[in-house]
Structure 1
Amino acid sequence: MRKIKYKKGRKVHPSTLEYTGIHKDTPTEMQMFVYDTDEVIEFQQCEPHDLDTNIDALKVNWINIHGLNNHAFIEKVGAKFGADHFIIGDILNTTKRTRIEEYHDILFFNVKSLLPQKESDNISVEQISFLLKDNVLISFQEKRSDFFTHIRERIRTNSGVVRTKKADYLLYLLLDAIIENFYITIESEENKVDELIDLSKINTNPEVLELIEKHRDNFNFLKRSIIPLRDCLYSIKSIKDDNVFNDIQPENFTFFSRLHQKCLELLEQIDSDLITLESASNYFFSAQNHKMNQVMKTLTVVSMFFLPLTFIVGVYGQNFKNLPELEWEYGYFIIWGIMLSVVAVMFIYFKIKKWF
């Protein structure tokens, strides 16, 4: 998981744009969907100057850009829609917190998309940003992915109501796809936690505790990623000012309300999973303590058997001349009999008390 890091001694001029993510080898490419209820037109490998001829103001225009290395490309696209320098900087800065803001007549939304990494306990993080203005929606992805493949198919095949709605409904569908990634990530984490709990019941190796803490960190990271998204969606859901979020039609507010409810469900599930992990951690320590107690119990029982024998041997190991038993013909065998009898009595007593 990526963390916010301060770049000490950074020499970049404040007005210079810079991509801060990890996908620095991904080329910047742009595709477009222009559609309405009657037709859909796709444009591949577009350039910023193509937007003037490809955009149809009477239709919904979805511009998808993946790869943010070419900041000049991103800046040109943003300039055509009136996005100022600060918005472009926030798109390129992947350490920014999830938030929604309205700059003049542009609705800006950036969000973190999380997915589990294959063959790893880590979580893959990608920042996705959106610009919504009039009937144009621009999505910015750090890399090529298949998050929105099913939405593209729905547009191509005219499935559902997507082609009858405006760009704000398309924004809802894209956000819904991102939230679905949270469900996938949480489900993956829960499957690993179930395996970890079963392992903790048979293995008291400290590595199990390290895995428990690792998944606890993952759930806390998920929670930190969902909370600001929940707050953003709540601001849309509860809006009462007619001069805010003008690019979202009033009849579509209910869709964003559904996304808010999904975020609440995710947070509740994460809290439940954190409690499960806490129980697993407590069980691990209890199992370790029980194992240690069993060892100490065994050592104590063994030492109790030898304690009276040590006493008897100590008595007859004294260097005094007047020890009557030393002159007995069968004294050695009598002492052995006494010692074995003491051990036998103690063994029976411990068994009755169920001390072992």
Structure 2
Amino acid sequence: MLTGSRGASFGGVRTCHSVHMCPWCGAKILAVRAENIQAAADALHEAGYGLYLGSHVLRHYGRQQYGSLRRGQRGGLVVVLHDSWRGAFGSAGRPWRRLRDEFGIVGYERAFEDTWGPATGWHLHWHVLWVTSRPLTEEEFERFRRRLAEMWRDAVLGAGGYEVSTTCDRPGCPCEGRGHGTDVRPINAGEQDAAARYLYKDGDKGRAGIGLELARGDLKDGRGHLRMSPLQLGDLAAAELAETGETDGPFVTAYREREFGVNGIRKHYRTQSLNRTLDGLVEQDERTDAEIAADDGQDLVPIAVIPAETWYRHIVRHTGRRLALLRATESLGEVGVRTLIEGWGLEWGRDVLPAPAEGPPASQA
């Protein structure tokens, strides 16, 4: 286990730089992306730009397949999500140009996320940080929100998806009348809405707010077995395979479906117009995913060594333990790791070892 200014990670492992599938490489890559997003948002706010956090989702059912963007095999929900974005906000489209000019959109940062539930299936969606040349007035923002919702609804239908709502009249619904396809909230400093304060809510703890929301999907938990993150699904699939030996169980099947379908999906995308705006405002880490994954970092400090036997027998096979280790390391360091593993019935100094000053041996995780 390693810890540093960018959070916790696992060391002594081979890197694959897979941001979607690998809990080691993904955590390192997404930590850098979160820092970039937070630094960009802070700089844009200081320069007087308007910031708006949005999400664009699909109406889906358990029977629908994840799908793939692979050539010759395009289909499923991922194609609907991808083509809907292109239809609504593709830079070559006239509707996008009208939207951009009407509301002074400088650009956006977009992040892909997916979760799965045994009853409702795959939930694929975009999170977006919209940036305008100045904060919109209340009336302008309401028009902006409606236009985004309507453009997304029309594009989803055009891409072959089910119609998503733009308004809702159900009493007590969490969407607050905004509908279930698109949600947009202002996150400019000074806004009174709880979502607006999210941008800076963790500032006193040295943690990113909007950076975490857009980049660190690997740190988010689903709603138990009703809906789970990819890492949670992976843990359940590993446990299911270890316990039953069956390769066609529901968790293993779902995990393998995602493993095939997520290939080629861009985890993060920032428009060139927003990149140009940021050039004169803030320095960004421009390393590729592979470069980030291969870099152990100079400020990383080893705090524990997990022997391979402990890793595969007591951690990989148990749902949520890998994520719990990362969180314990980030919050309390060695004390957190020791408390956690002892709570699992393991022995500090035998099952998990304190890290030597020179770092973990190459043969251990």
Q: Would you say same fold, with TM above 0.5? A: no
- Of structures 1 and 2, the one with the larger relative CO (CA 8 A, separation 6+) is 2
Higher helix residue share: 1
> Structure 2-normalised TM-score?
0.31
TM-score of the two chains, using structure 1 as the length reference = 0.32
